[in-house]
Structure 1
Amino acid sequence: MATVEAAGVRAPAWRGGFGRLWSAAVVSRFGDALRTAALPLLAVRLTDDPLVIASVTACGYLPWLLFGLLGGAVADRVDQRRAMWAVDTVRGGLVACFALAVGLGHATIGLLIALAFALTTLQTLFDNASTALLPSLVGKETLGSANARLMTGQQLAGGFLAGPFVPLLLALGAAAPFAADAVTYLLAAALVASLRIRAPEREPRPAGSTLRAEVAEGVRTLWHDRVLRAVCTATLLCNIGMGALIATLVLHVTGWLHAGNAGFAAAMTAYSAGSLAGGGPAQWIARRIGGVRSLFLGGCVQTAALVLLGTVRHLGALLAGMALLGLMGMVWNVNQVTLMQQRSPAAMVGRVSSAFRTASTSGAPVGALLGGTVAGAYGLNGPALFAAVLFGLAVASLIPAHLPDVSVVEPDDGATTAHVKP
């Protein structure tokens, strides 16, 4: 594993596999953004039932709740590199078949919902395997920088580069974005398959060990780690708040601010720009104040940004608040993932990751429902203030993680991780 020194920060070298993994992640995110933009446009051509259209989005969350923990357990059992390229190959085939159905005029809303559900189900294995594989490529001392580069590249590809291509592809036909997505899946699979790394050594599983027992072991490890438990709780609260805000943001912008569709587009652009800018300082902040303190800082700034959004009726305040939310959201995400990778036993990263993701992801759909309720009861700016309260609670929930660090011990098997500065 090669590293380089960049401005006093140890960063992963592009050679040795990280560059190919980064390229695969960026290419795949580019294709995902094309498909995500095309799905609702296709859905409204197939049905005008709001509940049915919303179910397409719901299928993007449901598999994480149903299969997220199982995906983490499988990721810890198998060769993660092979699992990743195999999953992307299958996903590429599924999207290619769907593109063909769209091109031939055989697409239905049921087929679209089935595709969304299948892709996200496969993603539960892919994402957990990817999280577990990264430490094998770059080493713990450069995990933060590697995560920052991965997330920044994905944000650039999905948030900016894909946007201009969507109308161009749609001009070629409704099937074009899906065909392009299939190509990116297959290209990403080829890049991951070309990685030449030695699979991490694992201790033999106890006789009679089951997936259910291994899933439970991952959940217990997350629960018994004081820092990860606090960070997971805080992330869940933040996701509920962001779910409430994002689900009602178009109403906030067009109804409360009267800024129209252009204002909504500007808000989303400001958020993407902030996210892109946050990748750089994420590790710089963590190296100076620590991983947990960087989350604490990010949560405080985001709380203030949400208060700004909910109280100042001006487009400039909206853009500033959204940019701050994106910037500090990236700082949060990079350091949250890095802490989880550093503090998890090497043989359990997939299971701890899946437990963390499943718990925190469940907050988004709950938040979306609560956001609609709050907007109806207290006004269109209510969800922003509701989210501010939840972010404030998230910051408070991080306080136990500031206590002096201790060894992380799994009580059932005695496995101990290294001491990591919060």
Structure 2
Amino acid sequence: MTTVEVAALRRPAWRGGFGRLWSAAVISRFGDALRTAALPLLAVRLTDEPLAVASVTVCAYAPWLLFGLLGGAVADRVDQRRAMWAVDTVRGLLVAAFALAVDLGHASIALLLVLAFTLTTLQTLFDNAATALLPSLVDREALGSANARLMTGQQLAGGLLAGPFVPLLLAAGAFMPFAADAGTYLLAAALVASLRTRPPRREPRPAGSTLRAEIGEGLRVLWADRTLRAICGATLLCNIGMGALIATLVLHVTRWLHAGDAGFAAAMTAYSAGSLAGGLVAQRLARRTGRLRALIVAGTVQTGCLLLAGTVRHLAALLPALPLLGAMSMVWNVNQVTLMQQRAPESMLGRTAAAFRTASTSGAPLGALLGGAAARAWGLNAPALLAAVLFGFAVTSLISARRRDVPVVVPDGGATTGHRAA
């Protein structure tokens, strides 16, 4: 069995730019949550056609499959800080224009779909650039803590704080959540623009190098790293399972458990609260076990939670299962992103992150379709059990990958040889 040594886990300094990046990410996620909650409510006002309403969600996923790899290649070519604030500025102006259209009564379902598609297309560049930028703001040994703080802050802002504001803003006007979202984009852009970062270390591109060739390089880096490849495959399986569960959770709670709307609200709150707790324990678990083992532990606990949710027909079983599921999801996300940042070459981090994110994200819409089909064929608890099976396969694949991984040696100077900090 492979022994993996982990570098000393340090906390990121709020000075030096990380504090501003954290603030920008949290503010932007708060605005995103306002818009995400308001979009379906506006959609049902504009049309009674279920397919048209569902298309809003499709438009939020499709750009990742179409442009995710391209966004990563562009992120490795440009100044990531400038790309991020430019994208947020454009998104702020677009949402502000949409808010004005809503206020003037000119909103339509077609305009809404175009907005959702365009915002997510721009997000493919922003998110890949943000993943590649973070290592220039904090030490490598502090990446895990930095990712945990970023994700926990975003979950707090988007999962808990934004919810109560939505009805208040809607009471002031249907355009208000979008106007507020536009303001958060512009504020986040200003914060990112104020960052001072060192230029990324990039080798000169060969003459005639194309985006297509560079995308291929990112895919090859991901495929060549056995551990990253295994984590990507495991994350894909987990996303299929989570897509199946989330798409049918309202039916699971309100019909299979007969817990009503209040039960569904309690379930969602429990999951969000668990996610916040997961951000606090992600680093502690990694310190004790190593990052790859932390993923295995998280996946194993999640499998048990899903089995409990799918077999015990009582809300009292679901409510403790969901916080654990949320906590371990955060543990998984923090350590998965950190491993990718530590193992991928700095000059190719945007492309590697894009390849990883595009491959793994594709599981969510597929899972939603499978969840609906499973619920119809075998019962409303079937998606939870399907998710448990997929999580079990994911854990098994990681155990196998860990046994084949190479040791990591961390010299006293802090630089690493071989693969880093698994």
Which TM-score tier does this pair reach, normalised by the shorter chain?
over 0.9
Counterpart amino acid of residue 346 in structure 2: A
Cα RMSD (Å): 1.3
Deviations 1:195-219 (A, max 9, x none): 0112113111001100000000000
Shift of 1:241: 0.2
Tell whether 2:357 aligns with 1:360: no
Q: Which residue of 2 aligns with 1:390?
A: 390
Structure 2 SS opposite 1:209? coil
Deviations 1:308-353 (A, max 9, x none): 0001111111111111110000000000000000000010000000
The 5 A counterparts of 1:68-83 are: 68-83=68-83
The separation in 2 between residues aligned to 1:419 and 1:246, in whole angstroms, is 35
Is the 2:12–2:138 Cα contact (8 Å) retained in structure 1? yes
The separation in 2 between residues aligned to 1:352 and 1:171, in whole angstroms, is 44
Q: Which residue of 1 aligns with 2:190?
A: 190
Structure 2 SS opposite 1:13? coil
The separation in 1 between residues aligned to 2:161 and 2:169, in whole angstroms, is 13
Counterpart amino acid of residue 151 in structure 1: M
Q: Give the 3 Å change call, closer, same or farther, for CA 407–115 of structure 1 in structure 2.
A: farther
The 5 A counterparts of 1:142-291 are: 142-291=142-291
The separation in 1 between residues aligned to 2:273 and 2:175, in whole angstroms, is 29
Counterpart amino acid of residue 109 in structure 2: I
The separation in 1 between residues aligned to 2:201 and 2:374, in whole angstroms, is 50
Deviations 1:212-240 (A, max 9, x none): 00000000110110000000000000000
Q: Which residue of 2 aligns with 1:411?
A: none
Counterpart amino acid of residue 84 in structure 1: M
The separation in 1 between residues aligned to 2:420 and 2:107, in whole angstroms, is 51
Q: Which residue of 2 aligns with 1:140?
A: 140
Deviations 1:66-102 (A, max 9, x none): 0000000000000000000000000000000000000
Structure 2 SS opposite 1:11? coil
Is the 1:132–1:350 Cα contact (8 Å) retained in structure 2? yes
Is the 1:407–1:417 Cα contact (8 Å) retained in structure 2? no
Q: Which residue of 2 aligns with 1:294?
A: 294
The separation in 1 between residues aligned to 2:149 and 2:132, in whole angstroms, is 17
Q: Give the 3 Å change call, closer, same or farther, for CA 417–29 of structure 1 in structure 2.
A: farther
Structure 1 SS opposite 2:293? helix
Shift of 1:10: 1.2
Counterpart amino acid of residue 284 in structure 1: R
The separation in 1 between residues aligned to 2:9 and 2:358, in whole angstroms, is 32
The separation in 1 between residues aligned to 2:407 and 2:344, in whole angstroms, is 11
Structure 2 SS opposite 1:397? helix
Shift of 1:9: 4.6
Counterpart amino acid of residue 382 in structure 1: A
Counterpart amino acid of residue 329 in structure 1: S
Q: Which residue of 2 aligns with 1:48?
A: 48
Counterpart amino acid of residue 296 in structure 2: F
Deviations 1:244-296 (A, max 9, x none): 00000010001100000000010000000000010011011111111110000
The separation in 2 between residues aligned to 1:196 and 1:78, in whole angstroms, is 15
Q: Give the 3 Å change call, closer, same or farther, for CA 75–144 of structure 1 in structure 2.
A: same
Counterpart amino acid of residue 271 in structure 1: Y
The 5 A counterparts of 1:97-116 are: 97-116=97-116
The separation in 2 between residues aligned to 1:52 and 1:419, in whole angstroms, is 47
Is the 1:24–1:191 Cα contact (8 Å) retained in structure 2? yes
The separation in 2 between residues aligned to 1:67 and 1:407, in whole angstroms, is 35
Q: Give the 3 Å change call, closer, same or farther, for CA 9–204 of structure 1 in structure 2.
A: closer
Unaligned runs of 5+ in 1: 1-7, 409-415
Counterpart amino acid of residue 27 in structure 1: I
Is the 1:251–1:380 Cα contact (8 Å) retained in structure 2? yes
The separation in 2 between residues aligned to 1:254 and 1:189, in whole angstroms, is 41
Counterpart amino acid of residue 99 in structure 1: A
Aligned-residue sequence identity (percent) comes to: 78
The separation in 2 between residues aligned to 1:316 and 1:407, in whole angstroms, is 44
Counterpart amino acid of residue 208 in structure 1: G
Q: Which residue of 1 aligns with 2:58?
A: 58
Counterpart amino acid of residue 241 in structure 1: G
The separation in 2 between residues aligned to 1:184 and 1:386, in whole angstroms, is 38
Is the 2:201–2:346 Cα contact (8 Å) retained in structure 1? no
Structure 2 SS opposite 1:146? helix
Shift of 1:406: 3.6
The separation in 1 between residues aligned to 2:322 and 2:168, in whole angstroms, is 28
The 5 A counterparts of 1:313-332 are: 313-332=313-332
Is the 2:342–2:421 Cα contact (8 Å) retained in structure 1? no
Is the 1:227–1:400 Cα contact (8 Å) retained in structure 2? no
Counterpart amino acid of residue 257 in structure 1: L
What is the aligned length? Answer: 408
Structure 2 SS opposite 1:204? coil
Flag as ranges the 4+ runs of structure 1 deviating above 4 A.
none
Is the 2:254–2:263 Cα contact (8 Å) retained in structure 1? yes
Is the 2:238–2:390 Cα contact (8 Å) retained in structure 1? yes
Unaligned runs of 5+ in 2: 1-7, 409-415
The 5 A counterparts of 1:33-44 are: 33-44=33-44
TM-score w.r.t. structure 2 length?
A: 0.95
The separation in 2 between residues aligned to 1:56 and 1:232, in whole angstroms, is 27
Is the 1:81–1:192 Cα contact (8 Å) retained in structure 2? yes
The separation in 2 between residues aligned to 1:329 and 1:161, in whole angstroms, is 20
Shift of 1:399: 2.0
Structure 2 SS opposite 1:60? helix
Is the 1:405–1:420 Cα contact (8 Å) retained in structure 2? no
Structure 1 SS opposite 2:162? helix
The separation in 2 between residues aligned to 1:314 and 1:123, in whole angstroms, is 39
The separation in 1 between residues aligned to 2:401 and 2:89, in whole angstroms, is 40
